[in-house]
Amino acid sequence: MKIKNLVLFFLALSIASLAWAQDSAGEQLQIVEVKRGDTLAKISKQYLEDPSQWPALLKYNKIANPNLIQPGMKLKVPANLGKKPAAVVIYKSGSAEYARAQERKWKELLLKLGLFSEDQVRTGVRSTVHLQLANAAILRIQPESYIIVNKVDKASKELIFTLQNGRLQAQAGGMRKFGGHLAIRTPAAVAAVRGTIFELNATAKNSGLACYEGQVDVSAQKVTVEVPSGMGTFVIKGKPPMKPFKLPLPPQIKPAEI
């Protein structure tokens, strides 16, 4: 891609609105379908905040004997027992869907829906979804985008997402207060966030990043570049990131003369 095209690409990013939703996040009941080979210990470790609370899970589902858990059975995991979500849907416009890791069935995305490890979200042609993360960062998923929750590590407060394709905007300033780590993968690179505001674009062959505040570390092919505020980089799959370059300023709009 020529530099001229890159400038036009990042100019479009810089014009995009960064109006972040501040709604409070809610929690919902999880429905877990028991698969062949699942055990009570395995289910408790994967879905309960404290795996030792498995007796409470049985009691909630009115199951007297753990040996009665069979494939195809659906267990209800209440919010007070279940793991805290990695992200919660706080805003949605248009058509968007999600798929649970254990179900692989696409359903309509709802407000206050909690997302967990290996859950997926995809937005429609005119759809926007805002996710509030456990570390107080906000991801604004743009139309025709597909994102996956890859890893949630409670101990290290590490969250990893994959932007398989499409575009997102992120506001990670809240991480300065709550700590933790946030990384967003694309097919071409990995963006590691340090309390910042940035925008990321991904296709199967390349990725572009624009940093508006703070700093983002972009890595590919064992090469990492630091992208500070007002700078951007571009990554072609299989190649290291380009040297960061200055982002173009948005056009100045003058009032019409009467």
**DSSP string of 93-161, one letter each residue:** ES-EEEE-TTT--EEE--TT-EE-TT-EEEE-TT-EEEEEETTS-EEEEPSS-EEEEEEEETTTTEEEE
Q: What is the pLDDT of residues 84-114, one digit of tens each?
A: 888 999 999 999 999 987 667 899 999 999 8
Q: What is the pLDDT of residues 195-241, one digit of tens each?
A: 689 999 999 999 999 999 999 999 999 999 999 999 999 999 999 99
Q: Looking at residues 18-45, what average pLDDT do you find?
A: 66
Dist CA 235 CA 206 (whole Å): 5
Dist CA 153 CA 117 (whole Å): 10
For residue 252, is it within any domain? no
Dist CA 55 CA 209 (whole Å): 47
Is 235 in contact with 207 (CB distance < 8 Å)? yes
Q: Is the pLDDT of residue 10 over 60?
A: no
CA angle centred on 223, ends 163 and 164, rounded to 5°: 10
Q: Do 138 and 194 sit in the same domain of this protein?
A: yes
Tell me the CA distances in angstroms from 16 to 200, 213, 220, 236, one per residue in order.
12, 15, 26, 23
Is 190 in contact with 220 (CB distance < 8 Å)? yes
**SS3 at position 19:** coil
Closest CA to 40 of 23, 26, 53: 53
For residue 257, is it within any domain? no
Q: Do 51 and 136 sit in the same domain of this protein?
A: no
**Residue type, position 146, single letter:** Y
Q: Do 68 and 177 sit in the same domain of this protein?
A: no
Number of domains the chain contains: 2
Range of the domain at 110: 3-23+84-246
Q: Do 13 and 66 sit in the same domain of this protein?
A: no
Q: Do 165 and 208 sit in the same domain of this protein?
A: yes
Is 205 in contact with 224 (CB distance < 8 Å)? no
Q: What is the pLDDT of residues 132-170, one digit of tens each?
A: 988 778 999 999 999 999 877 666 567 899 999 999 999
Q: Do 208 and 171 sit in the same domain of this protein?
A: yes
pTM of the model: 0.75
Q: Is the pLDDT of residue 258 over 90?
A: no
Q: Do 17 and 120 sit in the same domain of this protein?
A: yes
